[in-house]
Amino acid sequence: MKNILKKSLALALLIYVPFNSMAWGMLGHRIVGQVAETHLNAKTRKEIAKILGSSSLAMEANWMDFIKSDPSFRYLNNWHYINFAQNLSYPQVQEYLKKDTTTNVYTKINFVSSELKKKATPPELKLMYLRILVHLVGDLHQPMHVGRAEDQGGNEIRVTWFNKQMNLHSLWDSDLIEFQQLSYTEYANAINHPSKQQVKTWQSDDMSKWVFESYVLADELYKEAEKNQKYSFRYNFDHIKTVDQQLLKGGVRLAGLLNNIFGS
């Protein structure tokens, strides 16, 4: 009996441990897509409907994670994040991004945006690039997607969440959001109350600002994780406002980007 128990435990671990999701979880991405839907102008809405048919930004937002195990899409694996050294100032990050030609979430948001603007881009590619754009704007607003290379954006930083062993990255991808016990539409409705001024400011922020905001937030989370790795109610209380703000900013900024691409 003991042996069977051990074996099933080993099997459970084998199945469970290698699974390390690399994005806001399903909920986070859908919330960003759902918020964005409500900030689109009429022309953009129409153009997006031509590409997605009866689907929605929310329902297409996780495509980039769904295809991760397909070898023909392996080239997309490093599109989800960007890493930086520590202690960089905003001007330093801006300077770096200006010259950046590597493959990362920032350069690829720019790439798919410009491909979506082109009339000549074929419909099936437009569908793929739109799916990618919705996903990556979400990822860029998850602080740990702008983390440090040496620990894979927090994937190698062990923490416990209500006694469950996990890592800092997936806590921010998924567990903090799931803890709120809301569906993606309930969540989007709960947070989707930006002021007119916030919408205006967020949508006119340069994308380097999006990057820097996540970078600064990630730095705080790293520092906190050096002192304490056992998290529960207090951690939720301390950080849920940040989670909500990042999801909201992600959605509002995604809509701004889409309005720029399709709306005129």
Residues that bind ligand ADE (CB under 6 A): 22, 81, 83, 145, 147, 149, 152-153, 155
60 touches Zn ion (CB under 5 A): no
The entry of Zn ion, ligand ADE, none that residue 260 binds, CB within 5 to 8 Å by partner kind: none
Identify which of residues 24 and 81 has a Cβ nearer to ligand ADE in the complex: 81
The entry of Zn ion, ligand ADE, none that residue 25 binds, CB within 5 to 8 Å by partner kind: none
What string marks each residue from 61 to 100 as x (binds Zn ion by CB under 5 A) or -?
-------------------x--------------------
What string marks each residue from 98 to 137 as x (binds Zn ion by CB under 5 A) or -?
----------------------------------------
Alpha-carbon distance of 146 to 144, in angstroms, equals 5
22 touches Zn ion (CB under 5 A): yes
Q: How far is the CB of 91 from ligand ADE (least distance, A)?
A: 23
141 touches Zn ion (CB under 5 A): no
CA–chain centroid gap for 78, Å, is: 13
The entry of ligand ADE, Zn ion, none that residue 33 binds, CB within 5 to 8 Å by partner kind: none
* Interacting residue with Zn ion among 173, 188, 191, 211 (CB under 5 A): 173
Neighbour count for residue 186 (Cβ, 10 Å): 13
Per residue, the 3-state secondary structure of the chain, as one string, reads: CHHHHHHHHHHHHHHHCCCCCCCCCHHHHHHHHHHHHCCCCHHHHHHHHHHHCCCCHHHHCCHHHHCCCCHHHHHHHHHCCCCCCCCCCHHHHHHHHHHCCCCCHHHHHHHHHHHHHCCCCCHHHHHHHHHHHHHHHHHHCCHHHHCCHHHCCCCCCEEEECCEEEEHHHHHHHHHHHCCCCCHHHHHHHHCCCCHHHHHHHHHCCHHHHHHHHHHHHHHHHHHHHHCCEECHHHHHHHHHHHHHHHHHHHHHHHHHHHHHHCC
Q: How far is the CB of 135 from ligand ADE (least distance, A)?
A: 13
Cα Rg of the chain (Å, integer) = 19
Identify which of residues 22 and 64 has a Cβ nearer to ligand ADE in the complex: 22
Identify which of residues 148 and 253 has a Cβ nearer to ligand ADE in the complex: 148
Size of the site for Zn ion (CB under 5 A): 5
The entry of Zn ion, ligand ADE, none that residue 128 binds, CB within 5 to 8 Å by partner kind: none
Residues that bind Zn ion (CB under 5 A): 22-23, 80, 139, 173
